Amino acid sequence: MRQYCPPLEPYLTVIHSDESLLVLDKPSGLLSVPGRAPEHHDSLAIRAQEQYPGAMTVHRLDMDTSGLVIMARNPIAHRQLSRLFQERQVEKVYYAKVWGELMEPAGEIDLPLICDWPNRPRQKVDFEVGKPSLTHWERISVADGYSLIRLMPVTGRSHQLRVHLQAIGHPILGDPFYAHPQALRAAPRLLLHAAELRLPHPGTGEALQFASAPDKNLFAVDRTE
């Protein structure tokens, strides 16, 4: 892992809090959960637990990805939220700025993924033993050799969006694992943001919807299609 320098401002951004769940807005550069090494202890989970004792991780975002993360407030809510994720009742929307100008207005990427063990945590496409992985995408705008796209993952494999976009020749800008040198240099960070979450409340069943706007200075692409 690269030298870990998590951002301290904002320290913890809480989008929503109730007796069952937290919705947090994670900055790029902060781990979702503590790493094994002492210097990787600082994380979104640790920061949340300082303010909300007993908060429990339900899912994660990659360190370089920014955006919305849900945590459970108690064991019962944790079981309920985990079930919602397993049954794909949680709808997730991401925004990404990618290399190249996508010609089609929308599409899907259906490529099986598996861990690239000699190079972990990298993942790879493997048609023999990879797990089914599906991503829907929509083009928002294109300009100057880049595209801004909306991503709706159906499955939730590790690094799924990053590997899928690399596999079709449109790596996410600033991706330290999967971008080619030009795409890596094109942005100061991974331009992938978890922008929307929709799910039933784990206790009441009420339909919940949360949003976090990506950094307009980083994600802007001028020409709307």
Q: What is the DSSP string of 89-143?
A: --EEEEEEEEES---SSEEEEE--EEE-GGGTT-EEE-TTTPBP-EEEEEEEEEE
Q: Rounded CA gap, 75 and 126, in Å? A: 36
Q: Are 214 and 95 in contact (CB under 8 A)?
A: yes
Catalytic residue among 18, 42, 62, 116, which? Answer: 62
| Amino acid in the structure at residue 93 | V
Q: Which residue has the tokens 């985990």?
A: 82
Q: Is 62 an annotated catalytic residue?
A: yes
Using CA atoms, how far residue 126 sits from 8, 110, 167, in Å, is 38, 12, 11
- Alpha-carbon distance 105 to 125, whole Å? 24
> How far from each other are the two terminal CA atoms of the chain, in whole angstroms?
38
**In the chain, alpha helices (H):** 44-51, 75-86, 160-167, 181-185, 216-219
Catalytic positions are 62
